[in-house]
Chain A
Amino acid sequence: MLQVSDLKKNFGGLPAVGGVSFEVPAGSVTALIGPNGAGKSTLINCLTGVLPADGGSVRFAGEELVGKPAHAIARCGVARTFQNLRLFPRLSVLENVLCGLTPQAGDSFLGALLRLPRLRNRERRLMLQAMEAIDQFELTAQASFPVSVLPYGDRKRVELARAFVGKPQLVLLDEPVAGLNHAETARIATQVRRLQSQGHTMLLVEHDMDLVMNVADQVVVLDSGRCIARGTPAEIRRNPLVLEAYLGRMSVTA
């Protein structure tokens, strides 16, 4: 579904992503792992148009994504979450999730001003869709609360709900359990597994190896902007290059 080939991104001559290629098959979960500074977040940002890529190609469902602005990529059906939450703190949980349905809500400014019956019906439908997502992510009791009062773990789930509410074809999850405690991590892991069993295609960037090994169908390992390994979780666990990147040369030879 997603084919990344030879993707490059430099920051002032320093290659943050230096020619990475991999593929995300439809209906599978691909995990992207690597030590800090390996270029995982940069890669995600290039895929979603937050940062312009310097070279290479990203094909998604037959379309080229490199060169498209972020909003156009989102409208192709690519949703994402952010490593450091990017919610709208003043809006309620429901409103935040509804924001995930902006493309479905229509773009007509005049129509919005006049609030014609057609639009009103559509709004009602979207509201139900948003409430359904809120329900699935176990946020029903907090639906009307402003996001700023929620604990961090709940906010992470709000962002997931916002990403999934529009039924995107591909979701990029940038460290969904970073900074969460054990119970909250388990809760998110359950959600990710549920989404996986529903056939969602996901690209998961994560440091939490338990989660990665549990849910990923395929693991791609980045180190210093390069792809050093690719395979099933079991293969990756045994790969000496991966151990080296993560633990350092000494630990492997010792």
Chain B
Amino acid sequence: MTGREKILYFIYFHRTGLTVLLLSLLLGLFPLLQDNPYILGLSNLVAIYTIVVLGLNLFIGYAGQISLGNAAFFGLGAYGSAILTTDYGFWPWPTMALVAAGVALVALVVGLPALRLSGHYLVMATLGFNIVVYTVFIQWDTLTGGPSGFSGIPYLSVFGWEVDSDIKLHYLVWTFAMICLTLSLNLVRSGVGRGMAAVAGDETAAAALGVNTRVAKVKVFVFSAVLASLAGSLYAHCFSFVNPDTFGIFASVDFVIMVVVGGMGSIWGSLFGATIMTWMPEFIDVFETYKEVIHGLILVVILLFLPQGLVTGLVDAARKRFALSRGRHAAGQ
């Protein structure tokens, strides 16, 4: 093997890790090129949404189920961190973990019965859960501040440094997003991930291969809730203000749209979906005015023509075409 081949092999075998590294590097340089606080704030929001969408994408793409309740877990994480750190003086970092553990428990309790259902029933069950949680945020105003929201949430600090500016927040939230991205990539490339993909593909076949389909679905559901909760805690500490409307059912629908735009079962697609759907309204005015209509249209059009989602659908089509052309080539020889 020549030196050049060795390098190419190295790049090929470590393509996932190298892509993550390259992206991290670019993100590290981003604030040097762009210091507009508005843009940075928006980019921070993308990072937080990416974390939620990663979890939801694993659930939709790898368990073959749809949840319209992940904004509730996002909200529980945000309010959990907000209330415990502001009103009760808990340390933010341990609180984040504590709240995530609590949300995992809630997800387990919700998921065990709800995941016996499938298809539309599961969608309804998770939707109902989101409405309940949203109503609690609105009604329990002594604790949550009610419809006007909850403010004065302390910033996080890293080794004594308070993360209070947009640039510092940029590094914090994108570090989290890249860690979650790496963990998700690890997961889907493992035996556990393949078992989950099998469940999404064909439950009977998955069971015949030794996958406990129910346990697999509950595990992914809980994992998606934990990611949403972490993202929620970050959101609260980042913007130091939370409002119930961020966590309503329309937010859940938006997360599903991000998954669909990115492509079901695609980890990179999650990043793409969250980015596109967060930035687009900022650059196209029509988008802002007719947001709901356009979101609905995007969802319908993609599901009609590329049921696997936009990016995944296109990648699948390209892979198919490549395989077919190679197959013909081989047959011709």
Task: Using CB atoms and an 8 Å cutoff, list the residues of chain A in contact with chain B.
Answer: 48-50, 69-71, 74-75, 79-80, 82, 86-91, 95, 98-109, 111-115, 119, 123, 126, 141-142, 144-146, 148-149, 162
- State whether A48 and B208 are in contact (beta carbons under 8 Å apart), knowing that A90-B201, A99-B195, A142-B327 are contacts in the complex: yes
Chain B interface residues (CB < 8 Å from chain A): 183, 186-187, 189-195, 197-198, 201-202, 204-213, 219, 223, 265, 308, 316, 319-320, 323-324, 326-327, 330
Contact of B186 among A99, A104, A115, A149 (CB under 8 A): A115
A73 nearest CB across to chain B (Å):
8
Per the bound structure, the CA–CA distance linking A69 and B204 in Å amounts to: 11
- Closest chain-A Cβ to B186's Cβ sits at a distance in Å of 4
Whether A112 pairs with B316 at a CB distance below 8 angstroms is: no
Cα–Cα, bound, A119→B186 (Å): 10
Chain A residues whose C-beta falls within 8 Å of the C-beta of B194 in the assembled complex: 95, 98-99, 102, 105
When the two chains form the complex, which single residue of A87, A103, A112, A141 contacts B205, counting CB atoms closer than 8 Å? A87
A108–B219 CA distance with the chains assembled, in angstroms: 11
10 contacts between A and B (CB under 8 A): A71-B210, A74-B209, A75-B210, A87-B201, A102-B210, A102-B211, A104-B191, A109-B187, A111-B190, A145-B326
Q: How far is the CA of A114 from the CA of B180 in the complex (A)?
A: 11
Q: Which residue of A lies closest to B191 (CB)?
A: A105
Which of the residues B211, B213, B223, B324 comes within 8 Å of A149, measured between beta carbons? B324
Q: Which of B187, B213, B324, B326 contacts A71 (CB 8 A)?
A: B213
Closest 4 CB pairs of A and B: A105-B191, A88-B201, A112-B190, A70-B207
Nearest residue in B to A106 (C-beta to C-beta)? B191
The docked-state distance in angstroms from the alpha carbon of A108 to that of B216 is: 11
Per the bound structure, the CA–CA distance linking A109 and B190 in Å amounts to 9
| Residues on B with beta carbons closer than 8 Å to the beta carbon of A109 | 187, 192, 219, 223
Which of A82, A101, A105 makes the CB contact (< 8 A) with B192?
A105
In the assembled complex, which residues on chain B have CB atoms less than 8 Å from the CB atom of A148?
Answer: 320
Residues of A within 8 A of B326 (CB): 145
B209 contacts which of A90, A99, A149 (Cβ < 8 Å)? A99
Alpha-carbon distance A109/B215, docked complex (angstroms): 11
Pick the residue among A70, A102, A112, A145 that contacts B327 (CB under 8 A): A145
Known contacts A86-B204, A99-B197; is-contact A162 B320 (Cβ 8 Å): no
CB of B113 to closest CB in A, whole Å: 18
> Among the interface residues A80, A88, A102, which one has the most CB atoms of the partner chain B within 10 A?
A102
Report B299 CB to chain A, min CB distance, Å. 21
A69 to B183, CA, bound (A): 31
Task: Collect the chain B residues with CB atoms within 8 Å of residue A123's CB.
Answer: 189-191
Decide if A88 touches B205 in the complex (CB within 8 Å): yes
- Give every chain B residue within 8 A of A145 (Cβ-Cβ): 319, 323, 326-327
Q: A87-B205, A88-B198, A113-B187 given as contacts; is B319 within 8 A of A146 (CB)?
A: yes
Report whether B208 and A50 are in contact in the complex, using a CB–CB cutoff of 8 Å. Answer: yes
> Is A112 touching B186 in the complex (CB atoms < 8 A)?
yes
A115 and B190 contacting across the interface, CB-CB below 8 Å: yes
The docked-state distance in angstroms from the alpha carbon of A74 to that of B195 is 13
**Given A109-B192, A113-B187, A115-B189, do A69 and B330 touch, yes or no (CB 8 Å)?**
no
Residue among A89, A109, A114 with most chain B CB within 10 A = A109
Q: Known pairs A74-B209, A112-B191; list 9 more (Cβ under 8 Å).
A: A71-B209, A74-B210, A82-B204, A91-B201, A98-B191, A100-B209, A103-B209, A106-B190, A145-B327
Question: A162: which of B187, B193, B209 is its contact (CB, 8 Å)?
Answer: B209
Chain A CB within 10 Å, residue with most, of B191, B198, B324, B327:
B191
Q: What's the nearest-Cβ distance from chain B to residue A90, in Å?
A: 6
Q: Is the CB of A80 within 8 A of B320?
A: no
